[in-house]
Amino acid sequence: MLLRFIDWCKRHIILVTVLAVILVAAFGFVNIQILHMTSEPEFCHLCHPAKGFGALAEVDSWEHSAHGDAGVSCLDCHGRPGVVGYMKAKMGGLKDTYMQLTISKEEKLEILNNPPEDLVPAWHCMFCHSDEGNKEVREATAGPMKLVKMRMLDDVVNPEFRMRKGLPDIMTDTFVGGTYFDHELHMEGFDFVCRDCHFGVVHNPATKTDRMNFCLACHAENEDSAPQMSDCDTCHQAQFSMNEGTGAKGVEGDASLMFGADIGCEDCHTAVSSGIFRPTKESCVDCHDEDYIGIFEEWAGDTKAKIAELREMRVNVEAALNDADRTKRDTTELWQRYEKALYNLNFVEDDGTKGVHNNDYAISVLDSVKEDFKGVMATLDSQW
């Protein structure tokens, strides 16, 4: 029987080869599809389904985070780089499934509420957020980085990646997210890990007031060397520059009328010493009449809408540039223009006041960003 089958195969060798290739390809395809499907946030959602923040709400909190917006997915953080790292994460997924079936809801919550410190180790974050960290890990990763495209992580090569996303190199740049802050000094001096300060990253609610309090509590103990509460300008570089009408690349401006008239930070931020750092629109009435609340709302509304529009444009411009790169066009100058525009967009967003610190300047910076984005698109369309 078997011999007759082998005999038959020998006589139909081409047909058999073709069939074998199809079978193997189909099996591989199904496998990859399963790997893909079980890596999607929708899949994780089956067992991590809650809304809001914290345990069980990991998918929902991710959806509303900057990482979620930027397309950084679960396994970009919860699986280590490279094919081996990816496969290990998939094995962890099998353990999750086994645990789901065997442990109680209370035990599951207990685990989720106490994630180990190195669940996502600092070196992993630095793979995307520093150049040196990226290089070290790529050199040390055993096995290939990837076989097929599975996720964002394995394609990350710095500095290109972070520059195209408008991110600083956290270990060399000190102007980060609008704040003057030296990561290297603090990380090496005090043995911090990322989540000691970025407790709001992805799954937990961030309060900026908590973060500032954390900085100032330790600085108060280091009065001789570290900046104190009243040194607003030292840390809040973006806000200071915005008030002053400087800071964006290639856009000239004037100081805001108020800053120009010698209104300093603490004239508006009157309650800082009692721990309330953020003034509201009511604070305008300290010096102006009631109508100025309307001015505040108008400023904030305009700026917010413009930022949202430009955020969407940014994604399209980046995609168009990547498309152009695939067809081997020279895009060096266009990438530079895009990166400059993105820097300026981040500058206004990082000021965090939606134009209240200096509305005229914020608007002219945003207009220049729009011009740059449009210019890049127009050149891409016209030249090729």
Query: By C-beta, is 232 or 307 nearer to ligand HEC?
Result: 232
Instruction: Pick the piece of the chain touching ligand HEC (CB under 6 A) from 117-125, 317-325, 329-337, 367-375.
Output: 117-125
Instruction: Pick the piece of the chain touching ligand HEC (CB under 6 A) from 21-29, 255-263, 323-331, 360-368.
Output: 255-263
CB of 184 to ligand HEC, least distance (A): 9
**Cα separation of 56 and 74, whole Å?**
14
CB of 333 to ligand HEC, least distance (A): 22
Contact between 245 and ligand HEC by CB under 6 A: the answer reads no
Contact between 145 and ligand HEC by CB under 6 A: the answer reads no
Query: 21, 46, 308, 315: which one contacts ligand HEC (CB under 6 A)?
Result: 46
Q: What angle do CA 20, 21, 25 make, to 5 degrees?
A: 115
The DSSP 8-state label assigned to residue 180 in this structure reads: E
Instruction: Pick the piece of the chain touching ligand HEC (CB under 6 A) from 1-9, 25-33, 51-59, 373-381.
Output: 51-59
Q: Which two tokens stand for residue 182?
A: 């030296």
Query: Residue written as tokens 């399963």?
Result: 34
**Cα separation of 153 and 205, whole Å?**
24
CB of 174 to ligand HEC, least distance (A): 6
Nearest-CA neighbor of 176 among 206, 155, 205, 197? 197
Residues 192-211 interacting with ligand HEC (rule: CB under 6 A): 192, 194-198, 201-204, 207-209, 211
Query: 279, 343, 370, 377: which one contacts ligand HEC (CB under 6 A)?
Result: 279
Which residue type is seen at 341? A
**Cα separation of 185 and 191, whole Å?**
10
Contact between 248 and ligand HEC by CB under 6 A: the answer reads no
Contact 351, 362 (CB under 8 A): yes
Instruction: Pick the piece of the chain touching ligand HEC (CB under 6 A) from 6-14, 278-286, 317-325, 365-373.
Output: 278-286
Q: 369: buried, middle or exposed (CB in 10 Å: 19+, 13-18, 0-12)?
A: buried
CB of 135 to ligand HEC, least distance (A): 15
Query: By C-beta, is 15 or 308 nearer to ligand HEC?
Result: 308
Residues 57-86 interacting with ligand HEC (rule: CB under 6 A): 58-59, 62, 65-67, 70, 72, 74, 76-78
Query: 49, 52, 115, 205: which one contacts ligand HEC (CB under 6 A)?
Result: 115
**Cα separation of 317 and 311, whole Å?**
10
Dihedral-angle region of residue 167 (phi above 0 means left; psi in -120 to 50 means alpha; beta otherwise) = beta
Whose CB is nearest to ligand HEC? 352
Query: By C-beta, is 222 or 383 nearer to ligand HEC?
Result: 222
List the helix and strand counts (H, then E) for the chain: 21, 2
Nearest-CA neighbor of 318 among 272, 380, 261, 371? 380
Instruction: Pick the piece of the chain touching ligand HEC (CB under 6 A) from 27-35, 148-156, 327-335, 372-380.
Output: 148-156
Residues 5-44 interacting with ligand HEC (rule: CB under 6 A): 39, 41, 43-44
**Cα separation of 224 and 298, whole Å?**
43
Contact 358, 253 (CB under 8 A): yes
